[in-house]
Structure 1
Amino acid sequence: MNIVFMGTPSYAVPSLAYLHVTYGVKLVVTQPDKKIGRKGEIEHSPVKKYALEHNIPVFQPIKMRQDYQTILDVKPDLIITAAYGQMIPNVILDSAISLNLHGSLLPKYRGGAPVQYAIKNGDTVTGVTLMYMAQKMDAGDMIAKKETEIFPEDTTETLMNKLSMLAKELLEEELDSVIKGTNNRIKQDESLVSFAYNIKPEEETLDFNMNSDSIINHLRSLLPQPAGSIFINNVRIKVYEMKKSDIIVTGKPGEIISDRKELIVCTADGAVSITKIQPENKKIMATTDFLNGQKILKKGDIFNQ
């Protein structure tokens, strides 16, 4: 078979590796390289790194809708997508059996950030759905699903790692039946659809008007990057770790009630202790190290006002 694989993050790599070892992959399609850091060094996606290491041709269109002939030239029999990051035009979807490994239990959380939404919303179970691709976002017929538990300590990174292995297992279990045409084909229940659109920068700000569990879930959904953001006097502080505090408080949401050995902040139903931060223009550090001698935060200040 002529297989084209489309994906970008590390979530996609186990599935790509399985396909390449088992069937051979003719072409990898991934997002354009990024420039990172002050020096503007080029960073390849995890999928591109795997492809280069295994001598698989790589195609990186800036806009797939306008640049796709390279894919058609392969004459694909099978296209498999796993968190690629662009809408794929019908001319590509219609050229082969086109499948997607989506990181949620569809029809819940269609869109580009299903893992983040599952953690933020406090879900305890999620999974991967193997599905046929359709022009409407994540709306194609389902083939099979696999579930996994979301633990209280899971972040987007750790949960994505678990889902990456589930995606590979789904391919191992189901792809042969898809190729033979003997697989299930299950319509999605449109009445159960929900969406998980890509996270916007303004959605990175932690809201202390929420209860403590919800704030911690929100932070977990943003880790390891971009992390949570809080503001004091228009200065951004990034948050990388927090926990519930058992201190009984009487204060306004967002109010700092301790700026000594701990940074404790009021929430809607109690307080949280912020334990790892990145002050503006500084490195990530333990909050206890930052509080020694700093003049930015003081007891009684209120975040995000």
Structure 2
Amino acid sequence: MRNKITLLLLTQKGYEVLKALIADVPDVIHSVISAADPTVVKDFHDDIKKLCDHSGITFSNRTGRRTIDTEYAMAISWRWLIDARSTSLIVLHDSLLPKYRGFNPLVTALINGDDRIGVTAFYANDEYDRGDVIAQAETRVTYPMPIQKAIELVTENYKELALRIAKAIANGDRPSSYKQDEKQATYSLWRDEEDYAIDWHLSSDSIRRFIDAVGFPYKGASTTMDGRKMRILSAEAVDDVAIVNRSPGKLIFFQHGKPVIVCGNGLLRINEIIDDQTKSSLLPLPRLRVRFK
């Protein structure tokens, strides 16, 4: 089907792009496919479905539909393989390719303290995230930068690119593209529950960025105390002191009633920490002799 797009959407970014397309170029949308994603607290699957139902757009779940019969498909935040043999598949990716090919690139960029984040639209091929680039949009950032704020920023990049591409397709134009520079390519690995764990041997600034980068809509940075898993949702680096027997992970003192933890370099004050199971606050901590692992 010419001049039409099948959308494969997930997360807030997919939802906001769908809203923007409906408002500006609704006729280019043929149908929407979405899926539930248990790896995040909120996947926007239900929001996407409700918006499709309200707008009269055909909606289907990933498990219930396999065939894409439009000239183009566009994938946003999609985590599964797509059979694109009969369509031109355009992927919008959370990085400025060829940097951070792979998984969770926005999280990786924030952990690394990058001063630019952004989105790349490219034609998918047989090797993931190596296709020809259609366009990029970027945003400069400063820290601290919570992941939710970063998502809101790159969502604007997503909308900008999606609208530009959709308008071209609606006009019967194939979006032009160019090759990636393989010499500049880097990769970001997939993350699972183990990757939420804080490494207290890192600097306090690095740990602060990590906590901010894996917060809501993700599960939150984890640590353990006496074998009990907990999530640190908010923290900030504070001035270091001279510790002659430095031991990362130990509580050194309380500041404004909040525990201050020794890091590999620097100190970190924990402002919000919850039990992983009950989600209840664990502040104030019951004692001074605490070691996080």
- Confirm or deny a common fold (TM above 0.5): yes
Q: 1:118 to 1:36 in 2, by over 3 A?
A: closer
Indicate whether 1:79 and 2:73 are aligned.
yes
Counterpart for residue 52 of structure 1: 53
What is the CA deviation profile of residues 255-301 of structure 1, one whole-angstrom value per residue up to 9, with x for unaligned ones? 1112572200001112100010102444454x6xx21xx53xx3343
Counterpart for residue 216 of structure 1: 208
Counterpart of 1:301, as a letter, is V
- After the TM superposition, which residues 4-83 of structure 1 pair with which residues of structure 2 at under 5 Å, given as runs? 4-21=6-23, 22-24=25-27, 25-32=29-36, 44-62=45-63, 68-69=66-67, 71=68, 75-83=69-77
CA contact (8 A) 1:34 1:44 kept: no
Counterpart of 1:27, as a letter, is S
For residues 302 and 33 of structure 1, what CA distance do their matches in structure 2 show? 34
Indicate whether 1:97 and 2:91 are aligned.
no
For residues 33 and 242 of structure 1, what CA distance do their matches in structure 2 show? 27
Counterpart of 1:238, as a letter, is R
For residues 208 and 6 of structure 2, what CA distance do their matches in structure 1 show? 39
**Per chain length, whose mean CA-contact separation is higher, i.e. which structure has more relative contact order (CA < 8 Å, sep 6+)?**
2
Counterpart for residue 137 of structure 1: 128
Q: 1:43 to 1:300 in 2, by over 3 A?
A: same
Q: 1:177 to 1:100 in 2, by over 3 A?
A: same
Q: Percent identity?
A: 22
Indicate whether 1:254 and 2:249 are aligned.
yes
CA contact (8 A) 2:123 2:131 kept: yes
CA contact (8 A) 2:99 2:185 kept: yes
Indicate whether 1:164 and 2:168 are aligned.
no
CA contact (8 A) 1:7 1:85 kept: no
5+ long unaligned stretches in structure 1: none
Q: TM-score, normalised by structure 1?
A: 0.84
CA contact (8 A) 1:9 1:45 kept: no
CA contact (8 A) 1:78 1:98 kept: yes
Please provide the CA RMSD for this pair: 2.6
Counterpart for residue 219 of structure 2: 226
Indicate whether 1:146 and 2:175 are aligned.
no
Q: Shift of the alpha carbon at 1:49?
A: 3.3
CA contact (8 A) 2:115 2:140 kept: yes
Counterpart for residue 263 of structure 1: 259
Counterpart of 1:243, as a letter, is E
Q: Shift of the alpha carbon at 1:48?
A: 2.6
